[in-house]
A and B are shown apart, each in its own frame.
Chain A
Amino acid sequence: GIQVEQSPPDLILQEGANSTLRCNFSDSVNNLQWFHQNPWGQLINLFYIPSGTKQNGRLSATTVATERYSLLYISSSQTTDSGVYFCASRAEGGSQGNLIFGKGTKLSVKP
């Protein structure tokens, strides 16, 4: 099945800094999503982005499907951005229900 790898596994930032999180996937995909899991365990959908670029406030994401990677940009980070960021994807032709999650990037933003 498809492999989803995220980097870095851990990231510590000072408040106000910018960061880039990376997601590599091993196959062509028809579904690519980014999630933020807050310290209480809630998973929040940030972007559905199988290709192209999207922006939402201080967050933006770019997926280059032909090169099999996606990037999540966080600008002017805040302490509330702390948590774990997951990338998840489904291979073209893969089981319809099975979105495969990466292991996540744990982000800590210090005041």
Chain B
Amino acid sequence: DVKVTQSSRYLVKRTGEKVFLECVQDMDHENMFWYRQDPGLGLRLIYFSYDVKMKEKGDIPEGYSVSREKKERFSLILESASTNQTSMYLCASSFSVNYGYTFGSGTRLTVV
């Protein structure tokens, strides 16, 4: 089975800090995604990557950047954390665009 691992389950950061969320997959998948999930708003795509060093903006990229230097790792960066970025962050990967997604267990980030 494909495994998608997110580095932290819970994270508390201060406003203005630079925050790194890491995601690693172990099945050589081409595509990786970052979503955030908020009550009442559902899951929304932040960024995705379809190859090393390639990235595309999703619906809500403002305040975020990403890095994909190696195929197995996709990092989400909050350049200057704000309280409205308190959320559940979910990473996913897929073999290609028309295959099923595998999600990590999520990182619940609180910005204080």
Contacts and interface: CB of A to CB of B under 8 A. Distances in A.
Interface in B4-56: 31, 33, 37, 42-43, 45, 48, 50, 56
- Of the four ranges (under 10, 10 to 19, 20 to 34, 35 or more), the interface on chain A belongs to 20 to 34
Interface string A82-111: 000010101000011111011110000000
A50 B100 CA distance: 10
Given A41-B108, A50-B98, A97 B45 contact: yes
B103 A97 contact: no
A99 B98 CA distance: 10
- Of the four ranges (under 10, 10 to 19, 20 to 34, 35 or more), the interface on chain B belongs to 20 to 34
Contacts, number: 56
A33 B56 CA distance: 22
A96 B48 CA distance: 9
Given A30-B98, A42-B103, A43-B90, A98 B108 contact: no
Interface secondary structure of B, over-half rule: strand
B102 A98 contact: no
Interface string A22-42: 000000001101010000111
A45 interface: yes
B48 A97 contact: yes
Given A31-B97, A50-B98, A103-B42, A96 B103 contact: no
